[in-house]
Amino acid sequence: MTSIPKFQLNTGTSIPAIGLGVWAGLKDEERAVADEWIVPALKAGTGYRHMDTAWLYGTENAVGTAVRKSGIPREEIWITTKLPWHHHSRVQESIQESLDNLGTDYVDLYLIHWPQAFAYDPNTPRKRGPLLEKPTFNEIWTEMEKVYASGKAKAIGVSNFSVKTLEELLTTAKVVPAINQVELHPYLVQSDLKAYCDAKGIHLQAYTPTGYERVRQDPLIAQLAEKYKVTPAQIILSWHVGRGVSAVPRSHNSQRQQDNITVSLPVLEEEDLTHITALDRNERICNKADEHGYLNGWTYEQLGW
C-alpha cells in the first residue's frame, strides 16, 4: 500500500492525484452546511489535501470554513477554484471575491470554468445573462495571466477545453495552462485530448471521474473490483492515476471518501488498464447537449467536442 501520489505541473509544483470535488447541490441551505462533510474528509485516514470548488458551486465559504476548522495548515491543502462564465469581463474582481469567500490570500489553482462568456448583472449576481461574443477566452486568459503574476493564484488553467479550443488559446497565451479539467471516465476516455495535453505540458484532470453508477456498474469494472478486492470507484480512480490523470470525485459519504483517498492500494496490471480504456464510448454523462444540440449556448462543434 502506498500514499496518494502527486503529479508535477508545468509550474514546478505538485498536485495530489485525488481531490475532493466540493459540489453541494443547488440549494443555498445545502451549500451553507457543506463544511460538515468537508471537515471529516480532511481528517479521514491519510486525509484529503486537495479541495476542488468553484464560484458557481457556492461552496467557497464552506471550504474556507472547513480548512480553518480542521486545524490543518493552509499551506498543506491544495485549493482549486474557478472563474464563472459570467465573470469573464471582471476577472480581477472575481478572483478577489473567491479569495474573500475562502478566507485566504491565494489559491493553488484558478481555472476558467467554461470557454463561453455570459453577461453579468450586479442586480442578479448568481445568474448568468445572455451569451456574449466578447470577451473571447483568449482575452480572458490575458487577465488570468495577471492573476498568476500577482500571486493570487499559484497556477492557472482551464476547464472544459478541447484540442480545438486549446490550440486557439495557445496562439496568444504567454503562460501555458497548468491544468485542463474535463469530464473523463472509462466511457469517455479522451485519448486524443490527453495526448495533446501531454505534448503541451498541460496536466489533464478528471471530473465525474467514476462516471456515476452507470460506469461503476459496468460488468468489467465489477469483475476487476472483485479481483482486486476493492470498490468499483477505487478501480476507476486507480485507472486514472495509472494513466497519469488526477481526479476530483465528489462524495458526502464518509466511507466513500475514505475509499476514494486510498485509491492507490490497487496498482492495476497493464492488461487491466488496457481493458478499462477499451470501454470508451465517447459518451458524456455529466454534460450533454440539449435536444437542439447546444450545451451552455455552444454546439459541440464550437466546443471542439
Give the Cβ contact number of residue 129 at 10 Å. 11
User: Per-residue b/e over 163-180, b at no fewer than 16 CB within 10 Å?
Assistant: bbbbebbeeebebebbbb
Whether 182 contacts 114, CB under 8 Å: no
Structural contact between residues 42 and 34, judged by C-beta atoms closer than 8 angstroms = no
- Please identify which of the residues 57, 120, 148, 196 carries the catalytic annotation: 57
CA 250 to chain centroid = 10
Is 113 known to sit in a ligand binding site? yes
Helix H segments across the chain? 28-32, 35-43, 60-70, 91-102, 137-150, 163-169, 191-200, 212-216, 219-228, 232-243, 254-261, 270-277, 300-303
Q: Is the peptide bond before 135 cis (omega within 30 degrees of 0)?
A: yes
Catalytic annotation on 57?
A: yes
Which residues are catalytically annotated?
57
Which residues make up each annotated binding site for substrate?
113
Bind-site residues? 113
